[in-house]
Amino acid sequence: MQNLAEILTKKELESVFDRIQAIVAVVDIEGKLVSWNTAFEKGKSQFPNANNLLDFFNQRERDILKSRLAEGVQDQWMGELPFTENGAAVFYEFSLIPISNNQILFIAERITSDADAEAAVEKLRKQVKLFQVESEFSKKLARNKQIEMEAVLAQAQEVAHVDPLTFLPNRRTIVKDLQNEVLRAERYHSTLSISVLDLDNFKTINDTYGHPMGDEVLRQVAIQLRDSVRHPDVVGRYGGEEFLILLPNSDATAAAEQANRLCRQIRNKVVHAREQDIQVTISIGIAQFRVGEDSWHSLLKRADNAMYAAKNNGRDRWLIAE
């Protein structure tokens, strides 16, 4: 069987790159843009003055990319890129492939479903197994390979605690965090509040627009929540369309102020996905930990009951548990 590169002409290859949905660009080792395909051009339109690949990333992602470009080796990782019409960051799987003339091919494939995210996680796990086998049977493992293995292990460990759809802490992680915060509040008699948040009429969104649209709505709402809570507050996906926010050292009044702000922000932010505009609202139940009375489970139950009471009272609102 002939290699595709031997069959297709340069013009035909350019046509292929312009038709695929993946973002493709050629850069030098410092990230300066040399050439790119149509998908990259669409995203680049949001940054008309950008002439370096690093310009499209936030500071944390920029540092990672700069380091990997300097190494000049083939690499893969996951991260965020704000190549959307509204400038919101979404998740991609990135690849760097060294080519001729000291240049590097950059490819970004958007993660659009649980299946895509699970596939990326599985790829990481396979990398970990490969490196472990090499470590076990090779006595002359180079130091750079050891560093690479440790980086993959760290990334795999991080992914294991992340919800693959929203990239927030998953149910197991956020519940463990809740248990730790309850133990801390019980031991030191410190203040702790939690909020249980649920998207209103989410079933109607799924039934009307389909589950892929529902997934995109969840993903965009999750990004808004993550960017809106203040440190040391933590938000995680508790399950389905339900999220859990932990507010250490905050009483119910502070949690209510946050809930009021989140309701307003979600209400005023139209979710644009798959050429559709969807108005989304949320209902929030708040509970403050009662030292000597509550367990983590009872605290969560009180917040959950308050959330359902908020829904029964008309939705798009918050309620503090008694």
Note down pLDDT in tens along the chain; length 322 residues: 566 656 666 677 667 777 777 888 899 999 999 988 888 888 887 788 889 999 888 777 788 888 888 888 888 877 777 776 666 667 788 889 998 888 999 998 887 655 555 555 556 556 656 665 555 555 555 555 565 655 555 555 555 788 989 999 999 999 999 999 999 999 999 999 999 999 999 999 999 999 989 999 999 999 999 999 998 999 999 999 999 999 999 999 999 999 999 999 999 998 887 778 999 999 999 999 999 999 999 999 999 999 999 999 999 999 999 8
Based on the residue annotation, tell me whether 80 is a catalytic residue of this protein. no
Measured between alpha carbons, how far is 71 from 68 in angstroms, rounded to an integer? 5
Measured between alpha carbons, how far is 271 from 220 in angstroms, rounded to an integer? 7
> Structure pTM?
0.60
Measured between alpha carbons, how far is 246 from 250 in angstroms, rounded to an integer? 9
Query: What are the two backbone dihedrals, phi and then psi, of residue 164, each rounded to the nearest 5 degrees?
Result: -70, -20
Q: Which of 241, 257, 275, 322 is catalytic?
A: 241
Measured between alpha carbons, how far is 265 from 259 in angstroms, rounded to an integer? 10
Measured between alpha carbons, how far is 286 from 245 in angstroms, rounded to an integer? 9
**Residue closest to 80 by CA, chosen among 69, 72, 88, 68:** 88
Alpha-carbon distance values, 189 to 247, 249, 253, 290, 302 (Å): 15, 10, 18, 9, 19
